[in-house]
Amino acid sequence: MRAARAAGKHRKKDNAVRNGDARPPKQARTRKRRLLRWMLLLPVCFVVLTTLQVLLLRFIDPPFSAFMVARQFEAIGQGDFGYRMGHRWEDLEDMSPSIPVALVAAEDQNFASHHGFDFLAIEKARAHNQKMAERAEQRGTPVKRLRGASTISQQTAKNLFLWSGRSYVRKGLEAWYTVLIEALWPKRRILEVYANIAEFGDGTYGAQAAAVRFFNKDAARLSPAEASRLAAVLPNPRRYDAGRPGPYIQRRSNAIQRQMRQLGGGAWVRTLD
């Protein structure tokens, strides 16, 4: 009787294997479930960790940025072991109010009203760059001075957390961090962090270090003209020199000062949340 039952079980198992209905071993099923669990858990961990990261930096001043670290390793890779960065944190209220106003006038005039992305500026930049590309193609020359549309929030996210480059992964992370920054930081904090991590010269990060290097004074004592020269070298501070501005930087600085006056000058900073 037992032999008959065992034979029946073997026949059923053989039929199942032949028909493709055999279940995988228990160990394989456990491994698949574990893998699926990790695949579901990793995005949750990423969201939680990055949210905590951004939330903490609302209250803690970052001692350095990802761009600073990358620049240090770049110098080491080039054999420049004597390379030193200039950086010192300065609270927004201890800076000249001309500095944040100059940054907004130069980089992101809709900073106070947008939520991290200026879609109107993006469309204008796209149309401008397309026109410049068509003209360059007609002349047979390279395209020059393409217009960007990154907001100060996006630049803060990129400089503070990410690496340079144009990959879709980096752009996606930049967008995610921008959303977090706008959701968790007030506008004053975004502007404060940006003013302290922006590169104003090769190895010179933040308005305080830039003020000392280029004007031999603290950031609190910068005039509107000096602040506009710092903002004018962005986004190419390794090419232009705020201390010895050429014709292009002088023209750009004058345009920034006009925009600063239209924004309301230093009093504009007090209108931020």
Length of the chain as a residue count = 273
Average pLDDT of the chain, as a whole number:
86
Give the model's pLDDT for residue 234.
Answer: 92
pLDDT at 190 > cutoff 50: yes
The stretches of the chain forming alpha helices (DSSP H) are 2-18, 26-59, 66-77, 98-107, 119-139, 152-161, 168-184, 187-197, 207-215, 224-232, 247-263
Residue 17, pLDDT score = 46
Closest CA to 182 of 157, 148, 150, 149: 157
Residue 76 CB-half CA count within 13 A: 7
Average pLDDT over residues 31-59: 88
3-class secondary-structure state, position 14? helix
Among 80-84, 121-125, 194-198, the least confident range:
121-125
d(CA 16, CA 14) in angstroms, rounded, equals 5
Residues sharing a CB contact under 8 Å with residue 178, sequence separation 6 or more, in sequence order: 116, 117, 151, 153, 154, 157
The pLDDT tens digits for 76-91 are 888 888 888 899 999 9
pLDDT in tens, 1-27: 554 454 455 555 555 445 545 555 667
C-alpha to C-alpha distance for 233 and 216, rounded to whole angstroms: 18
pLDDT at 37: 76
Averaged pLDDT for residues 63-68:
94
DSSP one-letter string for 85-143: -EE----GGGS-THHHHHHHHHH-TTTTTSSS--HHHHHHHHHHHHHHHHHHHHHT---
Please name which of 206, 183, 186, 144 lies closest in space to residue 271, comparing C-alpha atoms.
186
- How far apart CA 149 and CA 180 sit, in angstroms, is 19
Rg of the chain taking only CA atoms, in angstroms: 28
Task: Give residue 205's pLDDT.
Answer: 96
Give the model's pLDDT for residue 185. Answer: 97
Nearest to 88 by CA among 200, 194, 174, 205: 205
How far from the centroid of its chain's Cα atoms is residue 166's Cα?
Answer: 12
pLDDT tens digits, residue range 137-186?
A: 777 777 666 666 689 999 999 999 998 877 889 999 999 999 999 999 99
Phi, psi of 272 (to 5 degrees): -75, 150
pLDDT tens, 209-234?
Answer: 999 999 999 999 999 999 999 999 99
Question: Side chain identity at 12, as an amino acid letter?
Answer: K
The number of angstroms, rounded, from the C-alpha of 3 to the middle of its chain's C-alpha atoms is: 72
Which pLDDT belongs to residue 165? Answer: 78
b/e code 68-97 from CB counts within 10 Å (16+ = b): beebbeebeeeeeeeeebbbebbebeebbb
Residue ranges of the domains in the chain? 25-56
What is residue 16's predicted lDDT score, i.e. its pLDDT?
46
